[in-house]
Every structure is written in structure tokens, then in C-alpha cells.
Amino acid sequence: MASTERFFCADSARQRGDPMAGTAPRGFVWVLVEYRGRWPVNGFEGLHLDTAIKAAVFSAAQAARARILLVKRPGRRRRGEHDQWAVLRRETSGTVRQQWGTWDREEDLTQIVTALETPGDTGGPSVLLVCAHGHHDPCCAVRGRPVARALAERWPDRVWECSHVGGDRFAANVVVVPDGVYYGGLDAESSVLTIEEHFFDRIHHHHLRGYTDMSPPQQAALAATLRRFGPAGRSDYVIAESVREGDRWRVRLAGRAPHPERVDVELQAHRTPPCRLTCRGAPTGSVMLYEPTSVRAV
């Protein structure tokens, strides 16, 4: 007999103890489009916008390898405020850039095309994106919205609810951009503590899914390094070398003082047994894990 109990992927992932390290999608550029209506399951792509305008934004985003996310402020919004858009990027050098604008008409969104073709201003406060895309996956709304409210009470001008960012089973997910850092498995209390530490440039392994400028095995190696040697700043460790030998990886990280100068991490790659990974996706699936087997300063 089929079970009538409702399935929640985030509950199931926590019961299984799914590791989060190494699960952040790659990315250097993010396009944010404020949209106060109901978000389609496929986000920006599903909005009823002029076909030519939407195609132009998509084409420019694809050329820049940017991810387009719908955003809105947590809670009720005052009338009369303009909707915003933004292009946020992190360069390979670590420099972060931001461009912001407003839109009232669909034609205004073509400003995004121009923004994607220009560098943007350096600096600016980091933005907190909390996935609350319930139409895509219920866990994102159930777990994401309380986190968005808690963070907005502390940093009201920095927090946005956003559409799907990946890893529904790790809800609540928070992405710090343009820093390019994914956190998961958060609740109202842990999210505030995690982001407080992040803003002090002390990134812990707890709740860390990964840095978006690293590959999955590199992300897992970094998390293992933070677990072994303690929290570090966003740029305190860089990847010096990655070597794959079959299903084994060796990642060397170069550290900035007071952290170890060099750290070697060995990892074993393997696939998980098939299981249900999302509330509304395929019935079952498996993912690749990178399990650290050795972490040592050299």
C-alpha cells in the first residue's frame, strides 16, 4: 500500500545525513529581477514578458554565464516603490562588482543587457538571497521564509527571497552574492549566526555548501580544511592544485597567514544509492559525493 504521508525532501535529507559540502553550483555572475507576483516553477523563463525582451536578457545572461533569479523582499511591500534589478559579479581576482537599476515597464529590463556587457562598480554591501521558491519545491518555502524574515530583521536592506538556487533538500538555502558562497540546512537562529560570522569574514564549515568559483571536489576539500583548522576569510584559501586519479582526488590549498601555508586534502568520490532528492522532481536519483580521507598541513 502506498504511503499517504506527505514527503518533504529536506526532512528526508536530514534523516539520511546528506553531506552539504561540495554542492554549490558554479557561478560568477548573478542577475536579480524583482518580481512581486507569483513565481512560475521555472522562474524568469516562465514570466509572461515580451518575447523579444526576454530573449535578449536570456541571450546576454548566457553569454556572461550568468544565473537569472527572481527576487522580492520578505513580507509585505509598500506600494509605489519601483521594482529593482541587479547584476552582481565576482571576478577571478576576487574583485566584486555590482550594478543596480529599477524597472516599471518590460522595456526597462533591457538595461540588464547593457549592464552585463559593462564591468559595474566595485564594492558595495553583500546581498543575502534566501531561496523561498515554494512553487518549485515546498521545502524552499516552508524552511526558507522563516529564515528570510529572521535575516531581514537584522539586515533589512540586504535580504531578498529568491527563486530556485539548487539543492532543495538543503533548505533553507542562503546564497551570499557577489561573494559567491552557498550555505544550507539553516533555520532562523543558525542563519543569523552564520551570516554574522560571514560578515566578519569568518566562514565556518558548518552549513557551508561551497564557494561558487570552485569545483565540487575543491569545495569539499575547502570545507574539510575549515573543519580541521578553523574558520577563515573568503579569500584566505585558494586552490593551488587539483589532481584526479580515477575515483580519488588530491586537492592542495594555499593558505594566507595565520592559516596553514599549504594544506593537502585527499578525497574519495562515490555515488550515493538512489533516493528521492526533491519534493517534485524525479522519483529517485543519486549524486556524487567527495569524502575527505586525509587533511594535513604540508
Q: What is the CATH number of the domain that holds 62?
A: 3.40.30.10
Q: Is residue 279 part of a domain?
A: no
Q: Write out the three cell numbers for 119.
A: 564591468
Give SS3 for 161. Answer: strand
Instruction: Give the torsion sign (CA, 47, 27, 117, 199).
Output: positive
Residue 152 CA to residue 35 CA, distance in Å, equals 18
CA 66, distance to chain mean position in Å, is 13
Asked, for residue 287, whether it belongs to a domain, the answer is no
- Asked if the structure places residue 19 within a domain, the reply is yes
In a domain, 17, yes or no: yes
Which residues partner with 86 through β-bridges?
A: 32, 100
Written as tens digits, the pLDDT of the chain (298 aa) is 455 678 999 999 999 999 999 999 999 999 999 999 999 999 999 999 999 999 999 999 999 999 999 999 998 766 668 999 999 999 999 999 999 999 999 999 999 999 999 989 998 999 999 999 988 999 999 999 999 999 999 999 999 999 999 999 999 999 999 999 999 999 999 999 999 999 999 999 999 999 999 999 999 999 999 999 999 999 999 999 999 999 999 999 999 999 999 999 999 999 999 989 989 877 788 899 999 999 999 9
Nearest to 98 by CA among 29, 18, 190: 29
Q: What is the pTM of this model?
A: 0.95
Does 254 fall in a domain?
A: no
Which amino acid is present at 174?
A: V
User: Range of 90's domain?
Assistant: 9-214
Which strand (E) or helix (H) includes residue 70?
A: strand 66-72
* Measured distance CA(96)–CA(181) in Å, rounded: 13
> Residue 228 has which C-alpha cell?
580541521
Domains held by the chain: number: 1
